């Protein structure tokens, strides 16, 4: 029962006490949340469930789009003005942006801090340029990107208006999947690490040196703060690994949105 998405422990124990050991044991008339019912249906049938309502959720992703992801560091002793202990400070971003008048072709923008100086002014400037032409800015779990943008506005006032405009254009891909789609291979979660390989077979993070955000945070701190103590070749390899990890996050969003649109197209063909 623990595989049910965000199920409370008390409820899971109640279900187990009633004799339900796995999701396959749950009867169709059992009262469940909408997400849990969809999850159980997918697991029991072994097939992805796509709600007809998905089509109504996609028009918010209006082209030209930018797909945005930040990476952060979290330092016990703040190094830059206005930072708090353990605050997650954005020091890297990746953005895939659709180009106007080029048939939706994508251009990749990226920026990463490489030394101990305050990275936020240069990052903000590069970010504003990267998102300049986008009508909407796509994120996955957009509350994180929204918080990063808020921090940047406060830290770099000269770009505050431009950063606020980016924040207002944010659209979140995560709740679209969570509310309308479930694949048995999601395994009870909706993180991009789970949804990507399930919905886009052959694309995951397994081929990367950096494969999750926690490792990225540690590696970013080493890249920024170790300086000459790290051999140049190792430093270059670390930088490249971090760039490819962040790039994979935004490319994942590109491919996930493509998949959602194809699922809607497949539904329309049935009518």
Count structural domains, the chain. Answer: 2
Q: Which two tokens stand for residue 230?
A: 């790290």
| Helix (H) or strand (E) segment spanning residue 181 | strand 181-182
In a domain? residue 186: yes
Do 155 and 124 lie in one domain? The reply is yes
Q: Is 171 helix (H, G, I), strand (E, B) or coil?
A: strand
Do 11 and 64 lie in one domain? The reply is no
Tell me the per-residue pLDDT of 24-60, one tens digit each, with 9 for 90 and over: 888 878 888 899 999 999 999 999 999 999 999 999 9
CA angle 224, 225, 226 (to 5 degrees): 110
Do 21 and 124 lie in one domain? The reply is no
In a domain? residue 262: yes
Q: Is 182 helix (H, G, I), strand (E, B) or coil?
A: strand
In a domain? residue 100: yes
Do 140 and 254 lie in one domain? The reply is yes
Q: Which two tokens stand for residue 148?
A: 């990063």
Q: Which two tokens stand for residue 194?
A: 């789970």
Q: Which two tokens stand for residue 69?
A: 């992801």
Do 249 and 120 lie in one domain? The reply is yes
Do 108 and 130 lie in one domain? The reply is yes
Do 42 and 85 lie in one domain? The reply is no
In a domain? residue 40: yes
Do 21 and 63 lie in one domain? The reply is no
pLDDT of residue 269: 59
In a domain? residue 52: no
pLDDT of residue 271: 45
How many whole angstroms separate alpha carbon 204 and alpha carbon 118?
Answer: 32
Tell me the per-residue pLDDT of 48-101, one tens digit each, with 9 for 90 and over: 999 999 999 999 999 999 999 999 999 999 999 999 999 999 999 999 999 876
Q: State the CATH number of the domain containing residue 97.
A: 3.30.420.10
Q: What are phi and psi of 93, to 5 degrees?
A: -145, 160
Q: What is the DSSP string of 91-139?
A: EEEEEEEEPTTTTT-EEEEEEE--SSS--HHHHHHHHHHHTTT-SEEEE
**Which segments of the chain have a pLDDT < 70?**
1-2, 101-104, 268-271
Parent domain of 200: 57-271
Do 136 and 162 lie in one domain? The reply is yes
Which of 164, 96, 160 shows the shortest CA–CA distance to 133?
Answer: 96
In a domain? residue 168: yes
Do 116 and 206 lie in one domain? The reply is yes
Residues 6 or more apart whose Cβ sits within 8 Å of residue 270: none
| Helix (H) or strand (E) segment spanning residue 172 | strand 170-172
Do 88 and 3 lie in one domain? The reply is no
Q: What is the DSSP string of 38-102?
A: HHHHHHHHTS-EE-TTHHHHSTTSPSSEEEEEEEEEE-SS--STT--TT-EEEEEEEEEEEPTTT
Pair 208, 245: CB distance under 8 Å: yes
Do 126 and 64 lie in one domain? The reply is yes
The 10 Å CB-count burial string (b at 16+, else e) for 85-99 is eeebbbbbbbbbbbe
């Amino acid at each position: 029962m623990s595989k049910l998405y965000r199920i409370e422990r008390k409820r899971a124990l109640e279900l187990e006490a009633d004799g339900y050991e796995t999701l396959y044991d749950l009867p169709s008339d059992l009262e469940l949340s909408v997400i849990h019912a969809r999850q159980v249906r997918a697991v029991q049938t072994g097939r992805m469930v796509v709600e007809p309502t998905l089509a109504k959720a996609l028009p918010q992703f209006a082209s030209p789009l930018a797909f945005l992801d930040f990476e952060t560091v979290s330092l016990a002793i703040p190094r830059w003005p206005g930072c708090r202990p353990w605050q997650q400070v954005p020091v890297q971003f990746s953005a895939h942006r659709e180009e106007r008048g080029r048939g939706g072709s994508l251009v990749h923008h990226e920026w990463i801090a490489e030394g101990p100086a305050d990275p936020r002014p240069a990052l903000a400037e590069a970010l504003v340029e990267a998102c300049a032409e986008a009508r909407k800015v796509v994120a996955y779990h957009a509350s994180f990107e929204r918080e990063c943008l808020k921090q940047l506005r406060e830290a770099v006032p000269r770009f505050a208006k431009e950063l606020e405009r980016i924040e207002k254009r944010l659209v979140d891909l995560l709740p679209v999947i969570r509310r309308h789609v479930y694949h048995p291979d999601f395994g009870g979660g909706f993180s991009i690490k789970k949804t990507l390989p399930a919905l886009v077979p052959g694309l995951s993070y397994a081929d990367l040196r950096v494969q999750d955000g926690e490792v990225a945070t540690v590696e970013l701190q080493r890249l920024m703060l170790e300086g000459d103590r790290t051999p140049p070749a190792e430093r270059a390899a670390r930088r490249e690994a971090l760039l490819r990890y962040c790039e994979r996050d935004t490319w994942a969003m590109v491919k996930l949105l493509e998949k959602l649109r194809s699922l809607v197209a497949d539904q329309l063909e049935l009518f």
